[in-house]
Structure 1
């Protein structure tokens, strides 16, 4: 912690030396804001002294009071969503001011920042952008605003847990999406060891959220490496303009008609406090969510060699490997077991006999026929010393079984445990954000901010990871003004009690009975059953029952003790499943906008950043058990824009980024906006996206899937560590062909094809993105936004599974590599908002398609071809009563990931809410449901089925 405070203290000194403190005499002004038609007072209106950042909001009676150093005449600016902005000059008395506001439709008039890193109307954005403002956030039908993101055009979520959802746009979706950036108040929200945002676990409380802006496309030219498929910015409310105490309570039910458990409650509570004293302000938010999580219960049989679903279950397939079953990833070929037993027995007897019996296997073959009777076997054993007889007797069934053809060329797997018996489904999410603000002048503000979140969730990567008591803290110092920004922050990730579910299942099995005992027992009992006349299926059942004797049963003291011990032992100890991650990220950046200095003749911005990844997993994720790993990155950007006759605006952007392990990259962007009519614009852009291989792509060294696969980094040093350059491995396709030939009884080593890794290792990935779009108002009632895009990916980062032969033992490695050739994707989307009186009818349609791909590339274009949303809402259908309802549908598609691959069925869901406003107490009561019809669905293969969530909420002073 001393390192954190030392760095942040140094930055604080720099920030405060950068500006002069201003002190002035203050005066108090007050008044009332009303609706000009109904004459009713309006609570929650923001009132600002023009030209300053001094502001307040009206109370439940529409009254406001604020302190200012301004002297009359000065201008007050009143803003309220759904009303025209009012400017009123104060020339005399500064008390009893009356401001009257007029309601209006505001379609297309929202101001966005993310598209150009400078404020502009959304209609004039040079690239596609989606926005959720305060009204949309308040009126969302989903239990969480984060869940409502999927109703935005071109946006989808991959849900792995009730609290863990990954946002994606434009294909190549993933459970942990490393191609999509998420920023919270300017801070990159990624977990340093994962390189993606962990949903909203440490994100923003709904009470404090001002707006969400989402760029569904490449954004590296402005935001640096990453965000190759999209960037989302979440911005909190200012304590100067949104003051007072707010709180929110939600309670509800889920798991209705869930075959896995009874209906269970979920609760969420949040509190926000903000107070400003002229220059100084404080803000604090706290929220807590608790729920019983959705349970992953897909027991489909999965072939991990071919990465595809296969038929059968535990009773019909001896090599059954259930998708959400763990411990059954460990398998062995029955003939290999028999041969290993005979080899080990021969070596043991040779040693015990002092070399007098060099090869007992050969002696058994020569002495006993395959149909030997018990009497013959007894007579044979009588010829050996009593001490050797048990070992010889144990070897006889394996010898006879192989010679008689009773042992098939069949792999068998251990009996696994269901995920629900291993994973912690007690979902919790605690978030808090605390900040101090000081205005050095009317336009310069210093901020010290701490965001901290912790919780329990489940994440799907190359395995199913139980994130228990996982936490991330973000600590920021920032100085921002009208034309500049200086920011420094650190992200501190702590894995808590998180563990790998498959490793837990494997080690519980190993603790109850070692593999070296279980598999020989299985094969030996199988041979005995077949010799006694049992059919194959019956023999397998008898063999498993015999080998499973002593297996720890779920819920028994033995099972619980083993589970607890393994969960709390680290992966690096060789006997545990627990992570020990304490990785950090340090980031420093600055930006200056020269536009005002150039008197609007040219829009010009420059910026630079420096970042350090400090990896500390104790050998439980990265190859850092006996060393420290730091990764340094830096970058800089410039953007210039110019308007020509208010009809056309051209913007040029470019950014250079350098990672210590890779060559630097330059990412340009060119955009143009053509105004074809007032409030109607055509936009065109060429953007480039760029991302470095993630920290795991570079340095991971981790056994997953029960130890069946070792994931390693794609850097040359990682590949060399396992001699994959010199002892070249075999491709997964050729290895599967070899296994097929062996199963047919004629193993053919000539089928094995070696894989050659690039001497330079994995390289950064880039994309060229072309987009043409239109956004415009047709009259004042219809807003249309449409776009088409075409993406060309180069050096696309994927992964290969290879099999290395060491002493006739094949080890499987998962290694990140770049796909050969070019990967293309294209799509289009259109959204329409139509105001019918006070009703808003809206809908959007998205289409995404994968273009050409190289034959060596594993297709993980994880997105449905077609999806759409239809919504209807009314903020006040009758006095103080509003509603919002939406229907979402998406097509079926094939999901590919390192965990599992398979078909995701099409589904449609209905979300709805009705709300009652109680102005007298500044409160809202909301009753709603997501998946109102309770039709269970999944967003990605291997993740849990989710159903309806029904809730009632009470919000005060939002």
Structure 2
């Protein structure tokens, strides 16, 4: 009771202060207004930003005197004292550096980026305005140490420090404090249903483990996107961008991106805003015919499985076909089966372009109502967000995400010292479908697998008897078996296609069905206004999942799956002035998290930052992070074609069941014609996939290795980082290096479970594998392997020829892991060892005219993922833009191009080549 009373006393004390209003303007040393400059009350989180003309109004709940601080990227920070109410201030900022910018993400409290205890990358209004990328989200790929993997035109995955996939649940993405990961997939789908560019205030990115303050999903890093508050940013803004995308595979196609924002402060107590965004284009077409399973293979291979060819995943060994009683009954002489080779044959598939129209579309809107009942920093707000879109997602298979819908609703109460927020995130899959299973089930619709493989085998025997060699016999057999195959565009094909994408049963259809959600609440209180000796914060969060895919993703066919997790944290930060030229900042953080399936885990972080002469800062930090198994790690139950994915939550294994037909050879061994397996066999009666392949190649049972992987548990990392930020005349240096050591690394391991027998028995289970009576499973487990990664980044920025900006960065990343010792374990590191980025530009080449050119280089790297593995070749990319500002129209016009050289590339194996984009934009900023 005392604790509750203390909380309410603190709460009411925070809202009874007097009120001071300040107005003013921020100009550069040439008397030009600086739009988007940050104005903040020193020692608080209360602040605002300047409008298009450099003006600002700020209300604060204390009487003078107090100090305000003005900052903007590229200018030195200025601090000035406020001595009276209604005081008008004119602040002049001298050209400075990005190190003076204020960030919030690193410590959950405002601080100069120069003094941040960890590495922080930032995009402000100036960088967004001058980016050569197509939009603000794409410009993240120009930040130091950041990897952006392009899944499709409207879906890009952000990551730092390795271990990247498009299902990137190691990296968190927040929009105004709300996690915008999708409930069904448990990771963000880029900016498909995120923010509109006209409402973006700033973007901050923390690379590396951030679990101590932000919990489990901030394992590899966290992206913060902050929008404009209508109390501070009023008026109407609009942007329209038109152009074309150009790619060899899909040609030249129109591209449109429109956004609109309106914000209004009705009085000192109430303000509101609304945003709308629309994007329409054509996606990067994927048309790789490379064989996934046979290096150098072509469609002439009997077991061909093309990267972007679907339906050819269905395959069998011809010897297994000859064991079928039905097939044997059709032969005039049973001895003819001796003509059939021991070879695997796959069905003929369809190109991806036959199964999608590559429509890329995003429609999103959000609105907010903000209420300040006491005319001070205390604020109550409601924000709603909705978005729908169409894109391509590459996960276990390739998916056409068609009409995907996501909504968020948030209530928040906050002031300078605390926040309390709760929100719900809900999604619906729309008309989305799995393109791989679409190809498979169109094939099944016109001819079932047993019939197709039976016809193929019979035709092979006939061709061999007619004198054909093996190669010609296979070609003749495929021609016979493919007779009547539905051709793309025909009524039969269209009918089978529509039937498949509207059927959620993967044995007959391919519809991706989902209506999952999660509820989240978090709170934070900063005691700095009550305690003088240190900055102390406490906070916590709670999340409740409700998975509802109707059995199409998870094992939730009969009812939704509910589970929850929570965490609490604290941080203490203290500054020590060692002398007039040297200051030491120490920060200690710790967070306790608990999922209902696992023991609790504490994530501490200790950091130190030493500032010398205000121009040099040395920092060091050590922290541990953790990652709870995701919803898919725990509850997935999905037949992906080549393997079945089964999550390892204890109550999940029994929910996955399937009946299998035992071969004739198995029945001769006394086995029933049909057996039933549960997901448990993958974890307690399985061989490693590599040893099963070795058995097939050698016929020697001694090569078999028992798998039986453990069920998954949380992953841990210990991360150490050192860094330096400094200014030498007009040169800015930002360097960091890290070393990560992982324990219980979560990954997928492919295993093979026999239909009968006990693994390791040396007889019956071996016979099951030899007869083809087995099923491959992709399990979720923790590796015993020692996994470490390390790397470093350095960024340099300066001005040359007086006012030209020149920036460059180099990033090195390396994985330390013994692949030979653990051949079935994949880390999905998926990160180039070397990256280099540079930009050159001038915001005022002459009055109101600027330009920027950005260059990116990545060396080649090996991409590992459940869909496909392969080398991503090195690439060089140049983006460029010129812009003209027309103050009388409050407008900026921009002409730009991405991948200006036109050399197509890709950042992940299996995706479409990325072509070029050429665009013209007009932005009106009437704030």
Task: Confirm or deny that 1:817 pairs with 2:781.
Answer: yes
**CA shift in 2, pair 1:187/1:45, >3 Å:** closer
- The alpha carbon displacement at 1:49 in A equals 9.6
Q: Name the SS for the 1:196 alignment partner.
A: coil
Match of 1:552?
486
Match of 2:584 among 648, 658, 663: 648
**CA shift in 2, pair 1:542/1:939, >3 Å:** same
**CA shift in 2, pair 1:766/1:25, >3 Å:** closer
Q: Name the SS for the 1:623 alignment partner.
A: coil
Match of 1:769?
719
- The alpha carbon displacement at 1:663 in A equals 1.1
Match of 1:622?
554
Distance in 2 separating the partners of 1:479 and 1:612? 21
- The alpha carbon displacement at 1:286 in A equals 0.6
Task: Confirm or deny that 1:336 pairs with 2:320.
Answer: yes
| 1:763-802 C-alpha deviation (Å, 9 max, x unpaired) | 10010001111111113x1111111111000000011111
Q: Name the SS for the 1:957 alignment partner.
A: strand
Distance in 1 separating the partners of 2:831 and 2:66? 54
Match of 1:689?
625
- The alpha carbon displacement at 1:227 in A equals 1.6
Match of 1:751?
703
Match of 2:636?
700
Q: Give the alignment of 1:761-910 within 5 angstroms.
A: 761-779=711-729, 781-806=730-755, 808=768, 809-836=773-800, 837-853=802-818, 855-856=821-822, 857-910=825-878
Q: Name the SS for the 1:571 alignment partner.
A: coil
- The alpha carbon displacement at 1:757 in A equals 2.9
**CA shift in 2, pair 1:71/1:630, >3 Å:** closer
Instruction: Return 5+ residue gaps in structure 2 as ranges.
Output: 1-6, 655-677, 757-767
Match of 2:691?
734
- The alpha carbon displacement at 1:817 in A equals 0.7
Distance in 2 separating the partners of 1:949 and 1:17? 54
Match of 1:275 among 240, 243, 264: 264
**CA shift in 2, pair 1:322/1:602, >3 Å:** same
- The alpha carbon displacement at 1:504 in A equals 0.7
Q: Name the SS for the 2:100 alignment partner.
A: coil
Distance in 2 separating the partners of 1:732 and 1:486? 49
**CA shift in 2, pair 1:620/1:69, >3 Å:** closer
TM-score, scaled relative to structure 2 = 0.89
Q: Name the SS for the 2:652 alignment partner.
A: helix
Check conservation: 2:540, 2:567, Cα contact below 8 A: yes
Match of 2:534?
602
- The alpha carbon displacement at 1:266 in A equals 0.5
Match of 2:402?
468
Check conservation: 1:54, 1:240, Cα contact below 8 A: no
Distance in 1 separating the partners of 2:160 and 2:185? 19
- The alpha carbon displacement at 1:116 in A equals 0.8
**CA shift in 2, pair 1:28/1:803, >3 Å:** closer
**CA shift in 2, pair 1:649/1:25, >3 Å:** closer
TM-score, scaled relative to structure 1 = 0.86
Task: Confirm or deny that 1:146 pairs with 2:137.
Answer: yes
- The alpha carbon displacement at 1:36 in A equals 7.2
| 1:652-691 C-alpha deviation (Å, 9 max, x unpaired) | 1111100001111111111011223322111111011111
Match of 1:357?
none
**CA shift in 2, pair 1:78/1:715, >3 Å:** closer
Match of 2:519 among 586, 601, 607: 586
Match of 1:939?
907
Distance in 1 separating the partners of 2:715 and 2:65? 57
Match of 1:662?
598
Distance in 1 separating the partners of 2:18 and 2:158? 48
- The alpha carbon displacement at 1:752 in A equals 2.9
Check conservation: 1:15, 1:446, Cα contact below 8 A: no
- The alpha carbon displacement at 1:329 in A equals 0.3
Match of 1:176?
167
Distance in 1 separating the partners of 2:602 and 2:57? 51
- The alpha carbon displacement at 1:482 in A equals 0.9
Check conservation: 2:682, 2:751, Cα contact below 8 A: no
Task: Confirm or deny that 1:402 pairs with 2:337.
Answer: yes
Match of 1:319 among 274, 286, 303: 303
Instruction: Return 5+ residue gaps in structure 1 as ranges.
Output: 1-13, 304-308, 346-360, 362-391, 742-746
Q: Name the SS for the 1:520 alignment partner.
A: helix
Q: Give the alignment of 1:214-229 within 5 angstroms.
A: 214-229=205-220
- The alpha carbon displacement at 1:860 in A equals 2.3
Larger Rg: 1
Check conservation: 1:67, 1:278, Cα contact below 8 A: no
Distance in 2 separating the partners of 1:215 and 1:69? 31
Match of 1:383?
none
| 1:533-564 C-alpha deviation (Å, 9 max, x unpaired) | 11222221111111111110001111011101
Q: How many residues align?
A: 870
Check conservation: 1:76, 1:90, Cα contact below 8 A: no
Give the alignment's Cα RMSD to 1 decimal: 2.9
Distance in 2 separating the partners of 1:41 and 1:212? 22
Q: Name the SS for the 1:317 alignment partner.
A: coil
- The alpha carbon displacement at 1:575 in A equals 2.1
Distance in 2 separating the partners of 1:796 and 1:471? 33
- The alpha carbon displacement at 1:423 in A equals 2.7
- The alpha carbon displacement at 1:734 in A equals 1.1
Distance in 2 separating the partners of 1:654 and 1:92? 41
Match of 1:524 among 455, 458, 472: 458
**CA shift in 2, pair 1:550/1:678, >3 Å:** same
